[in-house]
A and B are shown apart, each in its own frame.
Chain A
Amino acid sequence: MRRVMIQLEQVHKHFGQLKVLNGIDLEVTKGEVIVIIGPSGSGKSTMLRCVNGLEPIQKGRIIIEGDDITDPKTDQNKIRQRIGMVFQSFNLFPHRTVLDNVTLAPIKVQGKKKAEAKQIGEELLVRVGLADKAKDYPDQLSGGQQQRVAIARALAMQPDMMLFDEVTSALDPELVAEVLNVMKDLALGGMTMLVVTHEMGFAREVGTRLMFMDEGVIVEEGDPRKMIADPQEERTKKFLGMVL
């Protein structure tokens, strides 16, 4: 059955005078992998941050699995537990070991027993290929490894959907693939994903929809392969010409 996971209705967001999102409509159903591209400053990060309530919006509605996060009665902390987020700069907790990074939220937020959280955490580290790094500290890992830990950390909350904000942009080129592979596995496993990236290979391979954003609006969207091969809008053509 078609299940709507994320719904944005005419979302407007501005920082003071600066209008960043100018009426975004978006509907993401279960298992979709939406790839979002667009020039710097077009509002991609801001949109992701609005989706899990890290940024408040000024107008419109954001509905996560039926819960309106713009409703003051909604407990945003509860909603965020269902939305994993991975950042460009990893943001691992440097004072905690890799395994502790992964188990912290399940223990403190979900109230899981230490042993149970540890077991889930170790399984996730196996899944991202870092079982042997459990006792290391983040600064002992390469960027690619840190980012895979960050993905494991988000997955440990057993989220229903995941947001990725340019998670490979800070990585050396030879480390990009290891992170993308983890993301591809996730996508193929049926995870609902919103992915801001300029990795067109990823968009072609596992993206179910490609979206081009500019100046706070969605300019064009469609099937990734079709859109990359034959963009309709002038601005999309220009942008794709630059990144391909």
Chain B
Amino acid sequence: MGQFGRYYFNWDILRDTLPELLKAVVVVVELLVFGLFFAFILGLLISLMRISRVRIIRWLAAIYVDFFRGLPLLLLLTFIYYGLALVGLQTGLRFLILPPIPAAVVALSLCYAAYSAEIFRAGIESIHRGQMEAARSLGMTYGQAMRFVILPQAIKIVIPPLTNELIAMIKDTALASVITTPEILFRAREIMGVRANPTPLTAAAIIYLVFTIPLIRVAARLEKKKGSPGTPAGM
């Protein structure tokens, strides 16, 4: 190891850094919980709009999806944190000034809603149309048929791709460091500056991998055994 170990695996620094970064994990979890919650709600709504019979509604949903899939998340973060605040300060519209964590949640939600919408739409469309017809022929409204027949089946299909979304989002929370969110990468860089040693980055990498690798394994297994859409749980 020698020189390499001194710089990248400095045991003393690693020991000091890990507890600090574990505090930052709480921030990341916060970003993920709120980010995923809003992304899934908004994504589901947009996916339903995307398959609406009303053309305008379909268009609005398509525009949303293309817009947010086409934008770098880093730009979105910067705009929501700095871009809005700048105008907020100059005009006195204080609601435009968001603290880092809410700003990061908004950016992640908007962006990931677009991805989730496409996943939900693919899931819904993969359900045989006979299911909707059978439900409607029993007198269910479109909403009831979606809620009790289509979505419960679609959920099973979208779990593997949504797991991949979760993995991507965990990694993307690191982008929030550019807007001073005290998440893992941000804290690691701070400590790196103070100690003049890159070992905190190693510590950050270890923490990310501890979260992502098990999820990557889970996603791979889910994808492999993705049975027929109708296979009930536990079979």
Q: Interface on A for B, CB 8 Å cutoff?
A: 49, 52, 54, 77-78, 80-81, 83-85, 87, 89, 91-95, 104-105, 108-110, 137-139, 150, 153-154, 157
Interface size class for chain B? 20 to 34
Known contacts A87-B130, A87-B133, A108-B148; A94/B229 CB under 8 A: yes
The 0/1 profile, CB within 8 Å of A marked 1, for residues 130-173 of chain B is 11011111111100100011001100100000000000000000
Q: Interface on B for A, CB 8 Å cutoff?
A: 128, 130-131, 133-141, 144, 148-149, 152-153, 156, 228-232, 235
Could you say which residues of chain A place their CB within 8 Å of the CB of B148?
A: 104, 108
Could you say which residues of chain B place their CB within 8 Å of the CB of A81?
A: 138-139
Known contacts A54-B133, A91-B130; A137/B139 CB under 8 A: no
B138 in contact with A105 (CB, 8 Å): yes
B230 in contact with A80 (CB, 8 Å): no
B137 in contact with A139 (CB, 8 Å): no
Give the complex CA separation of A239 and B145 in angstroms.
39
Q: Of residues B138, B152, B235, which shows the largest number of chain A Cβ atoms within 10 Å of its Cβ?
A: B138
Known contacts A87-B130, A93-B149, A104-B148; A154/B235 CB under 8 A: no
Give the complex CA separation of A220 and B78 in angstroms.
73
B137 in contact with A83 (CB, 8 Å): yes
Give the complex CA separation of A78 and B138 in angstroms.
10
Give the complex CA separation of A85 and B228 in angstroms.
25
A153 in contact with B133 (CB, 8 Å): no
Could you say which residues of chain A place their CB within 8 Å of the CB of B130?
A: 87, 89, 91
Give the complex CA separation of A196 and B52 in angstroms.
31
Could you say which residues of chain B place their CB within 8 Å of the CB of A52?
A: 137
Could you say which residues of chain B place their CB within 8 Å of the CB of A139?
A: 228, 230-231
Give the 7 A-B CB pairs with smallest separation, nearest first. A94-B230, A81-B139, A91-B134, A105-B138, A91-B130, A85-B137, A80-B139
Give the complex CA separation of A139 and B133 in angstroms.
19
B123 to chain A, nearest CB (A): 13
Give the complex CA separation of A31 and B139 in angstroms.
22
B211 to chain A, nearest CB (A): 31
Give the complex CA separation of A93 and B146 in angstroms.
12
B232 in contact with A94 (CB, 8 Å): yes
Give the number of residue pairs across the A-B interface with Cβ within 8 Å. 75
Task: Report the nearest A residue to B227, measured CB to CB.
Answer: A139
A109 in contact with B232 (CB, 8 Å): no
A137 in contact with B131 (CB, 8 Å): no
A157 in contact with B138 (CB, 8 Å): yes
B139 in contact with A95 (CB, 8 Å): no
Q: Which residue of B136, B144, B149, B230 is within 8 Å of A54 (Cβ)? A: B136
Could you say which residues of chain A place their CB within 8 Å of the CB of B231?
A: 94, 139
Task: Report the nearest B residue to A109, measured CB to CB.
Answer: B139
B235 in contact with A137 (CB, 8 Å): yes
B19 to chain A, nearest CB (A): 45
A97 to chain B, nearest CB (A): 8
B134 in contact with A109 (CB, 8 Å): no
Q: Which residue of B136, B153, B228 is within 8 Å of A80 (Cβ)? A: B136
A138 to chain B, nearest CB (A): 7
A13 to chain B, nearest CB (A): 16
Known contacts A91-B130, A93-B131, A94-B153; A153/B228 CB under 8 A: no
Known contacts A104-B148, A108-B148, A137-B235; A93/B134 CB under 8 A: yes
Task: Report the nearest B residue to A48, measured CB to CB.
Answer: B137
A200 to chain B, nearest CB (A): 26
Give the complex CA separation of A81 and B139 in angstroms.
5
Q: Of residues A104, A138, A154, which shows the largest number of chain B Cβ atoms within 10 Å of its Cβ?
A: A104
B139 in contact with A105 (CB, 8 Å): yes
B103 to chain A, nearest CB (A): 39
Give the complex CA separation of A224 and B76 in angstroms.
71
Could you say which residues of chain A place their CB within 8 Å of the CB of B235?
A: 137
A54 in contact with B137 (CB, 8 Å): yes
A77 in contact with B232 (CB, 8 Å): no
B144 in contact with A108 (CB, 8 Å): yes
Could you say which residues of chain B place their CB within 8 Å of the CB of A153?
A: 138
Give the complex CA separation of A49 and B152 in angstroms.
25
Q: Which residue of B128, B144, B152, B156 is within 8 Å of A109 (Cβ)? A: B144
Could you say which residues of chain B place their CB within 8 Å of the CB of A93?
A: 131, 134-135, 149, 153
- A/B interface sample: 18 pairs, CB < 8 A: A77-B140, A81-B138, A83-B137, A84-B137, A85-B137, A93-B149, A94-B232, A95-B156, A105-B135, A105-B138, A105-B140, A108-B148, A110-B139, A137-B232, A137-B235, A138-B230, A150-B134, A157-B139
